[in-house]
Structure 1
Amino acid sequence: MAVTIYGLGCKSTKKAKQWMINNQIPFVERDIKKDPLTVPELQDILRLTMEGTDDIIAKRSSHYQKVEVDFDDLSLVELLEMIQEQPKFLKSPIIVDRNKLQVGYNADEIRQFLPRKTRKFQLLNWTQDLKPIEW
């Protein structure tokens, strides 16, 4: 299954796309401003999170700060419907495949999308490049 990058066209989304291209990982890009996530798609993403909606909502964004809604008072469905209507509430990018999730661009964490053999090969080459410590 290909990797999907859900993004808002921000710098982090562009970095993630370039990383995928540089590492020859097939991906599908989706601009969530033009094509917002549906409630079932958001539920699928939440299934992969550790902290639920806290992992995907951009609470420090100006868009979030301007809204006069207490998100804690909303049901999950109400919150997901609100996110569907206002995709700027989401962090960007959200990168997923069948069972992996990364929210935001992180150069170390994005490596999880490399095939296992590639990660193992890179790790072996990296450890061979280490020089022994001389005391």
Structure 2
Amino acid sequence: MIDLYTITSNLPSRRAVNFLNEHGIEFREHPISRTGTKIDLNDLKQMLAASENGVDGLLSHQSSSYLALTQHHNLDEMPLHELLSFIHDDATLLHFPIIFDYQHHLLQTGFSINEVRTFIPRQTREAEFSKLLKALNDTDAS
């Protein structure tokens, strides 16, 4: 099962929900807000472990919260537990949506139509690819 962390009024979050629904992919949506629901620290640590770029891959470098944080703190020198605490307290530091498959340790932040296809089951992707190849072969034969 895939966990989808979304934030209100975020177009990429809505696109992720639509994509997963359109492809029949089961997921649990976790709406996150600045003042309400937060991401559990253990979940943040698991996401961090699955991130190819570490904390940098989770952060939204364009958010006002990130800019404010970097004005007052050097993130390269900040202890990890302290940075995770900041993220836990202010989810707008994160790049939403966050799509995470805990079982396979697959993580995507933001929405990219090419990268989100990773979450389509392999069998389905192979069937789509075979169908595409067949259509191309039929076109070439004509």
Paired residue secondary structure (2:76): helix
Unaligned runs of 5+ in 2: none
What secondary structure does 1:108 align onto?
A: helix
Number of residues paired by the alignment? 132
Q: Where does residue 5 of structure 1 map in the other structure?
A: 4
Instruction: Tell me the equivalent position of 1:110.
Output: 116
The code of the aligned residue for 2:14 comes to K
Per the normalisation by structure 1, the TM-score is 0.91
Matches within 5 A, 1:1-135: 2-9=1-8, 10-33=10-33, 34-67=36-69, 68-97=72-101, 98-99=103-104, 100-130=106-136, 131-132=139-140
Q: Structure 1, residues 88-126: CA drift from partner, whole Å, max 9, x if none?
A: 000000101122111111111111111111000001111
User: Partners in 2 of 1:80 and 1:113 — Cα distance?
Assistant: 26
Q: TM-score, normalised by structure 2?
A: 0.87
Identity across aligned pairs (percent)? 27
Unaligned 5+ segments in structure 1 are none
User: Residue 39 of structure 1 contacts residue 77 of structure 1 at CA under 8 Å; is this kept in 2?
Assistant: no
Structure 1 or 2: more helix by fraction: 2
Kindly state the Cα deviation for residue 66 of structure 1 after the two structures are TM-superposed: 2.4
